[in-house]
Amino acid sequence: MNVTSVDLVTQYKNIKDEMDRAIHAVLDSGHFILGEASKEFEKNLAEYNGVKHALGCASGTDALQLAMMAHGIGAGDEIISVPMTFIATIEVMILLGAKPVFVDVDPKTYCIDPNQIEAKITEKTKAIVPVHLYGQAADMDLIMDIAKKHNLVVIEDCAQAIGATYKDRQTCTLGDIGCISFFPGKNMGAYGDGGAVLTNDDEIAEKIRMIRVHGSASKYRHLLLGINSRLDSIQAAVLNVKLKYIDQWNAKRGQHAARYTEMLRELDDVVFPYTPDYNTHTYHQYTLQVFDRTGLQNFLKEKGVATGIHYPIPLHLQPAFASLGYKEGDFPVSEQISSHVISLPMYPELPQDHQNYVAEQILAFRK
């Protein structure tokens, strides 16, 4: 049997008629950047999250950059975040001339450990960027208390967490601004790149509206330094269809996650995903910590089961970030997680017999 990590084709086939109609309507309209489809999607996305403004852009990476630019983050500023994330979270800080300052993650949730934040705050600190890793929120109330006390901006990296809730509130709306990715493999993926920022702040929303079109409010008059980062109308139309299904798809992921845990529960040297009571998890990834990861990954590959590692090198040890001056041992929890995590196949349409097969093979490896 061949089990892939994700399957984007089955999902398309399930909603093909509706999707094709939405895409063709954009082709017929002749508006390909922003335009009606984008406006409609932005309205629906804002409504879904219960937030005043949702603004589309070209990727999740750009969403983070736009959020930082709109909050005036630049040279000399320090931003507190984690080494246990996808590189984009940190990359944009450095591109803007700001300095990432790492804090280790909580050993159970794998999200930023709020108790370690205050020790890293200096007079240069401007923002905190919590990452809702694998699809569940960091402990946002504690983070917001610290941010208020020190007058810091909180930018949520929600790339993996659309639809996740924290204490019954939608993530992405708990800080000052939230950043989403619509990369095809994310829980709500476009058919290409895409992203969005969410905020209740009118002034910040207005700035982002300008920054994403080269800093202009009207044609060829540029008020701010900007970039080119818009959501294509075709992607907006695709996402408008998908938004109707996201809760249903996230629920399916939750069911698959519960089944994996149930089927594998006899493995007593495996660390299963942990969700505190205050969170609902979107299971962008279903990720275990295992003792012999390389052995398991190779065994599963031989059996036709694809797995992923999110992420094999914590960012403080990435060659590209060597100039930050961190070394091995600086963030022991992130290092421990990075060297033991393995993500199992996970997508809403994952067939049960595929899932059974994955679990059987993992159990067979352990015997």
Ligand X SMILES: *Cc1c(COP(=O)(O)O)cnc(C)c1O
Of positions 11, 38, 59, 65, contacts ligand X by CB under 6 A: 59
Considering only the stretches 54-62, 136-144, 268-276, 356-364, report the one whose residues sit in contact with ligand X under the rule CB under 6 A: 54-62
61 binds ligand X, rule: CB under 6 A: yes
**Closest CB to ligand X among 86 and 331?**
86
Listed residue (196, 177, 192) closest to 41, CA to CA: 196
In the range 154-183, which residues lie near ligand X by CB under 6 A?
157, 159-160, 181, 183
Residue 280: both structure tokens together: 């609902």
CB of 40 to ligand X, least distance (A): 21
In the range 327-356, which residues lie near ligand X by CB under 6 A?
none
**Closest CB to ligand X among 190 and 333?**
190
Torsional class of 153: left (φ above 0), alpha (ψ -120 to 50), beta (otherwise)? beta
Considering only the stretches 86-94, 117-125, 227-235, 251-259, report the one whose residues sit in contact with ligand X under the rule CB under 6 A: 86-94
Task: List 305's β-bridge partners, or say none.
Answer: 3
85 binds ligand X, rule: CB under 6 A: yes
**Count helices and strands in the chain by DSSP H and E runs:** 12, 13
65 binds ligand X, rule: CB under 6 A: no
Contact between 194 and 235 (Cβ < 8 Å): yes
Backbone angles phi, psi at 46, to 5 degrees: -60, -45
Residue 231: both structure tokens together: 């959501």
Q: Number of residues in contact with ligand X, rule: CB under 6 A?
A: 15
**Closest CB to ligand X among 185 and 295?**
185
CB of 194 to ligand X, least distance (A): 7
Contact between 70 and 138 (Cβ < 8 Å): no
Backbone angles phi, psi at 348, to 5 degrees: -55, -35
**Closest CB to ligand X among 178 and 254?**
178
Q: How many CA atoms lie within 13 A of 348 on its CB side?
A: 21
- Interaction site with ligand X (CB under 6 A): 59-61, 85-86, 88-89, 131, 157, 159-160, 181, 183, 193, 195
